[in-house]
């Protein structure tokens, strides 16, 4: 017992020291541990419907996809996994959506009734909160808001599923699964046919659309909007940029998808006007990182794939359940282009000046993300022999933790599954978080070199 207590004390000291020195690196280790645990559970015989052990690579891919709230699958979720396996996947989605360090802080609060400095540092690193004093309220908002919205979606879906002649137990399970999967932008479905039977059903799809959109805004935005719900003028710059850019992307995405697919006999043409509008709105929201689909993605035009590539690469809000480079990254770069075109010295928005450091981070995030996508695309082209449009769609979907697929994910060779697993991990933890975790030290220079401007363009 004494030895066990000593080991626990040393482990706690190691965690505290690691958290102070490099919270990002510790976050990566913990997140990797969650994926490893999910892989181990899904590798057990009782996790599959057949009772046979799943291949390690399939268990790893599924655990990574669930923990990173991606939604890409290499085996049919509703057919291949047993009830136990589906519960493991759902729990992984919930943990991945909350964030590992947020969940750890919740457990700490339950035990000690407070959040220590180490936990505040970790959650601050994960949720992009600059004020440590806000961490406690942010954690409470995360758990209360996410759970409330998940239950709200489930309660709205429950009576509709009952109308489809599902029993109470089956309807409740499907409603809960879709509620959690939607808010966390996971894209997992508990049935083989997914949402295809509900392509024209506003009652089923609209709550999922709202859940995905709100989940993609990010917890800092939810906290700020909740505090100033009746006074939008008091929303901070981050909230305003996130909401306005997100709405613009949804509108633009829906219109472009409708324009490309309206007469496509494989997707929208068989639908009536109401169903087409719903399908277009659904298809405009899901590339934000939702990952659900009501039509066959493989039947879409290549132009629609390209639109989805762009929307998936941007993703959702910072510290949200969505992936991508984040909408604020896009917004800052667009504002910088406008400022440069006007000849303005400063980048401004909503009466505020955006610091140059924010633009530098936005550029770094975009370029590093594009580099990861490029490398992974080259690897998959060499491993699969597929065309670039198909490979690029799968790679961006994995990196942006979206989950949309042209239907080829199940045919990936083993090596390609590992590549996409790593890409999903990088996409969820964040390229800048990964860079900070791998950095050996912070570089500080007292002496600055003379300035000289190179020719650009």
Give the tens place of pLDDT for each residue, 70-107.
999 999 998 999 999 999 999 999 888 876 545 544 44
The CA distance from 143 to 219, in Å, is 10
| Chain segment 52-73, per-residue pLDDT in tens | 999 999 999 999 999 999 999 9
CB neighbourhood size of 169 (10 A): 8
Q: Is 349 left (phi over 0), alpha (psi -120 to 50) or beta?
A: beta
> Phi/psi of residue 301, each to 5°?
-70, 155
Please count the CA atoms within 13 angstroms of the CA of 95 that sit on its side-chain side: 23
pLDDT the model gives residue 304: 95
CB neighbour list of residue 445: distance below 8 Å, 6 or more residues apart: none
- Grade residue 108 by pLDDT with cuts at 50, 70 and 90: very low
Whether residue 432 is predicted with pLDDT greater than 80 in this model: the reply is no
Provide DSSP, 380-446: HHHHH---HHHHHHHHHHHHTT-----S-GGG--HHHHHHHHHHHHHHHH-HHHHHHHH-SS----S
* DSSP three-state, residue 347: strand
Give the integer Cα–Cα distance in Å for 267 and 79. Answer: 24
* Range scoring the smallest mean pLDDT among 144-148, 176-180, 205-209, 389-393: 144-148
pLDDT at 115 over 70: no
How is residue 168 written in tokens?
Answer: 């109470």
**DSSP state letters, 220-256:** HHHHHHHHTTT-GGGS-HHHHHHHHHHHHHHHHHHHH
Q: Determine the pLDDT at residue 66.
A: 94
pLDDT tens digits, 25-51: 666 777 888 899 999 999 999 999 999
Percent of the chain with pLDDT over 70: 81
pLDDT band, very low/low/confident/very high, at 281 (cuts 50, 70, 90)? very high
3-state secondary structure at position 260: helix
At 1-18, the pLDDT tens digits run 466 556 555 655 655 555
Which DSSP symbol is given to 187? -
Write down the pTM of the prediction.
0.87
Question: In percent, how much of the chain has pLDDT > 90?
Answer: 57
d(CA 175, CA 162): 10
Residue 439 has pLDDT above 60, yes or no: no
Q: In the predicted model, what is the mean pLDDT of residues 360-386?
A: 92
């Amino acid at each position: 017992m004494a030895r066990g207590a000593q080991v626990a004390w040393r482990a706690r000291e190691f965690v505290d020291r690691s958290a102070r020195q490099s919270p990002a690196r510790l976050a990566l280790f913990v997140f990797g541990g969650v994926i490893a645990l999910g892989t181990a559970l899904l590798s057990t015989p009782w996790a599959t419907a057949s009772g046979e052990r799943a291949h390690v690579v399939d268990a790893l891919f599924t655990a990574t996809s669930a923990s990173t709230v991606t939604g890409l699958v290499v085996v049919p979720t509703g057919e291949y996994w047993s009830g136990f396996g589906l519960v493991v996947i759902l729990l992984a989605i919930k943990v991945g959506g909350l964030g590992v360090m947020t969940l750890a802080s919740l457990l700490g609060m339950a035990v000690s009734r407070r959040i220590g400095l180490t936990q505040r540092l970790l959650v601050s690193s994960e949720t992009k909160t600059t004020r440590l004093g806000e961490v406690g309220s942010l954690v409470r908002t995360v758990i209360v808001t996410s759970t409330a919205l998940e239950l709200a979606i489930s309660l709205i879906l429950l009576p509709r599923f009952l109308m489809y002649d599902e029993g109470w137990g089956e309807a409740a399970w499907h409603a809960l699964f879709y509620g959690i999967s939607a808010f966390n932008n996971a894209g997992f479905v508990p049935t083989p046919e997914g949402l295809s039977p509900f392509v024209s059903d506003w009652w089923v799809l609209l709550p999922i659309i709202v859940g995905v959109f709100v989940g993609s805004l990010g917890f800092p935005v939810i906290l700020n909007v909740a505090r100033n719900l009746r006074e939008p003028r008091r929303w901070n710059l981050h909230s305003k940029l996130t909401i306005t850019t997100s709405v613009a992307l949804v509108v633009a995405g829906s219109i472009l998808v409708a324009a490309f697919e309206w007469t496509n006999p494989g997707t929208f043409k068989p639908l009536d006007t109401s169903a087409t509008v719903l399908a277009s709105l659904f298809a405009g929201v899901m590339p934000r990182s939702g990952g659900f689909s009501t039509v066959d993605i493989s039947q879409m035009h290549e132009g629609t794939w390209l639109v989805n590539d762009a929307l998936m690469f941007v993703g959702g809000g910072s510290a949200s359940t969505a992936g991508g480079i984040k909408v604020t990254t896009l917004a800052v770069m667009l504002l910088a282009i406008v400022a440069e075109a006007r000849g303005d010295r400063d980048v401004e928005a909503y009466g505020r000046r955006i610091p140059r450091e924010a633009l530098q981070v936005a550029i770094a995030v975009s370029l590093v993300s594009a580099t990861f996508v490029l490398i992974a695309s080259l690897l998959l082209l060499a491993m699969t022999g597929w065309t670039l449009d198909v490979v690029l769609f799968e790679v961006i979907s994995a990196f942006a933790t979206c989950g949309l697929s042209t239907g080829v994910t199940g045919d990936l060779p083993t090596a390609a599954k590992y590549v996409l697993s790593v890409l999903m991990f990088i996409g969820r933890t964040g390229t800048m978080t990964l860079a900070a975790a791998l950095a050996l030290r912070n570089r500080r220079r007292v002496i600055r070199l003379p300035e000289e401007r190179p020719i650009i363009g």
